[in-house]
Chains A and B, each alone.
Chain A
Amino acid sequence: MIDACERCAFALEPEDLRCALCGKATAVPHVPVVTKVRAEIMRCVGCGAAVTYSAEDAAPRCAFCNATMKLEAIVDPVDQANALVPFAVDPATAQASLKAWLGSRGFFRPSDLATASTVEDLRPVWWPAWVFDVSAEVCWTADSNAGARRAYWAPHSGRCVMDFANIVLTASRGLTDEECRALIPAYDLEQVVVVEEAERAGPDGSLLERFDVQRSAARRRIVEAIEATAVARVRATQVPGSSFRNVRASVLLDGLTTDRYALPAYVLAYRYGKKLYRVVIHGQNPARIVGTTPLSWLRVAGVALVVALLIAGVVVPLLADSPPRPEPSPDYNPPPAAPAPAFTPAQTAPTPRTDGRCFVIEASANSAGTSAVFARRHLQGGGPTWETIMRRVVIRRLTVVTADATPTADAPQFGRHFAVRQGRKSTWVLLDGEGDAATVCAGDPVVRDLLRAEYERLNGSASALRRQLGHDDIE
């Protein structure tokens, strides 16, 4: 039986001494009625000696037998989900909708994306979220362009009552906030069942992600989310005019209730070429998909070329004085549209610009162990490449004088240069990454052989590679 706060109707937990929202003391279980002045001696339950409170133990302690007396515990547990939304999509449907989605990703994606991709990993998960309902009196102030005189802004204020129903706030660490934002609007929270039904409510092997936030911190985050939602709503519906700043709201909450839900989704990894890409599919509505897809660099480069030619053909003749625009070089790398910089595909043919001082690391030479390590890291959102790995090798194994050095005249003029010291000699190293491939050059054959040996060691042993990568993110 959960009581509500007498002042703000916040749903209280049985252990709460005060309302976490407004500070009102909860009802006292029983108050001893004292009719005349009396003195009491606190006695030890074990030996009957007198008990005094000890600051060292932060608890009452028996002076005779040293036993400490338990006080009512201060609880701040990590509350787990109390409701669960069942899966309405089976794994086969999820895979089919992934194919359909991959086939409809627009012009700049590879044409064989849907046919050449293979699903490598498909995990049904319930991710944790708070769902809250509350009504709030909101007072707000803002500057807006409405009614402005000489200044661009005019100040406004107002007051309204807002109801927030079924607001979903993510508590997941497995899914990103962005993924959750995309999934949340499509959930039908009416379909809720109790958590004990998990066996029957999802496919085999479904994972129930646990809440990992303590109750006090959870309440704080919920209140912050309500305030942020209130400000967003004030901006959208209350402030007159079309442009705003300084939108602020004070919120008096009434009847806040929160539930802890587990919401269904499929987390998939599909392989296209040598890369793994992550996609999340809604567990109730398979059309709702959020994830990354590779870009077809050929197509992007083609369009860039056409645009460049058009500019060269149309604009340049108009500006007779200006020198002709150079065509994009084969190295031209437009910035990726999707936020997946780690997934830059390999270039088709690297220009022959290396000599005996260099060696080239090809992705095709990756050992099975290396591919496995890379695939796992890509899934986690990091993206190791041979360039970043070799950069670390250079920093660890050589004495680097300057990273990002200006290339010396005798060195090939590309890539990232390091001025290093080998023994007593000063020399240079350069690294150049192109997707999965990397070129490593060194001014000193000893250094080159050292780096090559290190590469071969790492490629030959997945455990050495994992150690080298460590747990931290590689930029």
Chain B
Amino acid sequence: MQTEPSAVECRNCGAQMELAGLARTSTCPYCALPSVVERPATRDRPRPRFALGFIVTRDRARDAARQWARSLGFFKPSSLRHAALDDLHGIYLPAYLYSAAARSRWSAQIGEDYTETETYTVINAKGQRETRTRTVVRTEYWTLGGDHMTFVSDVLVTASKAMPNDELEGIEPFDLRLLRRYDPAIVSGWIAEDPSLTAEQCFKLARDEAVARVGAALTGFMPGDRYHGLNYTTSFERESIDLALVPVWVLAVRYAPDKPPLRVSVNGQTGQVFGHAPTDWRRVAVVVAIALLVVGILVYVQTGGFS
């Protein structure tokens, strides 16, 4: 789904503003006033229903990102630790909030422990065979099946191609108690986007996450002392999915001239930071080489050198 750039008139000075494909906000190049854009709602781009306002300020977001960069491990590029973190953008990311009633059928092997006394023979100190007894714990397995029903709510998935779902998960959770009805004033002056993923793609992401949640609930639902082979199928009923705008600070960190910049995200509500920091393979190679050298020297010393 690609939307061609469109132009819209500034309500203040009448100038034409070019709109990037999915932008929900714009600033007039002539009078510098911020506008919020409204488009006719479509299935893939509905009007946002909810919004979470920014709470983390630009300075706090930068501090959080710096803290994160400094605490990266040894195997991450050192240039990352000292990179300039100035190019910070506050973005209202489109995300879908999903909830449903989940009905699952499950089956598993449920293990119940019992103890048993068994006899065994050993050769004792005098070289004779001797019969002894010991108690051992054994498990008998039952095949058990059943149902599980629950509401799954607060599943949040990305609706933007620019921010993969695992990056959003990296800065979750958001405090959804502070959710507000979408109001253009919340996004005024900030960057806000409409969804770039289709509703169908987002639905699938949300259902996958809901299935994983049910699976986590089922692991705590199993009786017995142990279990294995848990299988379940879940069907969702009475699903609902609503578009929300969530606050994210995004930085593009340039840490090497020949590498693409690394994107770091900061939760605009909690300050939680996430970024896929690359591994510095040269550092890994150096450490491995040193380790091999040390092992080599030790072996050399142990074997008494090349005599």
Contacts and interface: CB of A to CB of B under 8 A. Distances in A.
Contacts of A157: 144-147, 223
Interface string A295-316: 0000000000000000000000
Given A52-B34, A155-B144, A24 B240 contact: yes
A141 B221 contact: yes
Contacts of B144: 141, 155-157
Contacts of B169: none
Interface residues of A, number: 59
B186 to A, nearest CB: 5
Given A139-B146, A155-B110, A250-B149, A42 B184 contact: yes
Contacts of A152: 112, 114
B285 to A, nearest CB: 43
Interface stretch (B51-59, B74-82, B255-263): B51-59
Given A69-B185, A155-B142, A250 B41 contact: no
B47 A53 contact: no
B49 A25 contact: yes
A60 B53 CA distance: 9
Residue with the greatest number of chain B CB neighbours at <10 A, chosen from A36, A139, A248: A139
Interface string B11-40: 110000101000000100000011111111
Interface stretch (A26-34, A352-360, A376-384, A456-464): A26-34
A7 B268 contact: no
Interface residues of B, number: 76
A120 to B, nearest CB: 46
B33 A51 contact: no
A39 B17 contact: yes
B150 interface: yes
Given A22-B99, A55-B55, A36 B151 contact: no
A252 B149 contact: yes
B277 to A, nearest CB: 26
Interface string A5-30: 00110000000011001111100100
B80 to A, nearest CB: 26
Contact of B221 (A42, A50, A149, A248): A248
A159 interface: yes
A143 B11 contact: no
B184 A40 contact: yes
A55 B56 contact: yes
A37 B194 CA distance: 13
Interface in B210-241: 217, 220-224, 238, 240
Contacts of B220: 248
9 contacts: A21-B151, A23-B152, A24-B99, A34-B39, A40-B35, A139-B147, A139-B149, A150-B116, A252-B101
